[in-house]
Amino acid sequence: MDYRRYRCLQVQRQERILTVAFNRPEALNAVDAAMHAELAQIFADIAQDRDTHVVILTGNGQAFSAGGDLKWFQHMTPAQLDALFVEARKIIIDLLEVEQPIIAAINGAAMGLGATLALFADIILAARTARIGDPHVRIGVVAGDGGAVIWPWLVGAARAKEYLLTGDTLSAEEAERIGLINRVVPPEQLMPTAMQLATRLANGPTRAIRGTKAAVNKILRDTVNLVLDTSLALEKQCFTTQDHREAVAAFLEKRPPRFCGQ
């Protein structure tokens, strides 16, 4: 598989282990139109990559991914909005089609879509300095691009609703305590720990590992079938609201938003 066409995602191979890193460090790896389009292709490529047995997903620089780039949202046309949500659905569906184990190595802030992609991984490691959150509501939109699927599945509906309805962030230690992630490690040990685990899985019984993942993920697939289309449709409706426009303007102007409920 040739990954050289990717620019916003850095793809590196070490034998049978593929490391995919968000690669906009100057923007805290926020997802813009170009990165979103690449995310809508990368998992389909990985699923067909016979040379890859394990995937590590991480971020370059200080952040894992700060989520959607609000500058991108500011001037989005209706056609671009339609394309965004087609891609958003494809990202999650393609991610579920990846047979190989995926290890998320959360090196810094993982917000919104960044958090969603990390939490959809099979094993989630985080640096002690990392923070995780889904602040969709803080920009006036539904947590529709996968957050409403994965948070309740990992921590239960009550805890998920607390964090999704407030948009509050969690420390890595708190995320580990409530079962949102697997393990917290010192920052300097994050990638060595991820690589050690990836090597163990890559050298393991491939069919048994992939089959076990597929069996467990049946529950997650059913949840995606139940929730994702509804949550995406509800999120898309919010992009035309006054509250969303106000949230984006407030963020760019570095002031608190003044929501009106419309």
Q: Residue 143 belongs to what domain range?
A: 9-190
Tell me whether residue 77 is in a domain: yes
pLDDT beyond 90 at 246? yes
Tell me the pLDDT tens digit for each residue of 39-69: 999 999 999 999 999 999 999 999 999 999 9
Tell me whether residue 252 is in a domain: no
Tell me whether residue 227 is in a domain: no
Tell me whether residue 45 is in a domain: yes
| CA pair distance 248, 35, nearest whole angstrom | 20
Tell me whether residue 203 is in a domain: no
- Confidence category of residue 73, pLDDT binned at 50, 70, 90: confident
Higher pLDDT, 74 or 225: 225
Can you name the residues that pair with 18 across neighbouring β-strands? 13, 55
Q: Supply the pTM of this predicted model.
A: 0.97
Residues 6+ apart with CB under 8 A from 86: none
pLDDT beyond 90 at 76? no
CATH of residue 35's domain is 3.90.226.10
pLDDT (mean) for 199-225? 97
Domain tally, the chain: 1
Residue 226's pLDDT is: 97
CA end-to-end span of the chain, whole Å?
47
Tell me whether residue 237 is in a domain: no
Tell me whether residue 95 is in a domain: yes
Can you name the residues that pair with 10 across neighbouring β-strands? 21
Tell me whether residue 142 is in a domain: yes
HEC profile of 106-173 = ECCCEECHHHHHHHCCCEEEEECCCEEECCHHHHCCCCCCCHHHHHHHHHCHHHHHHHHHHCCEEEHH
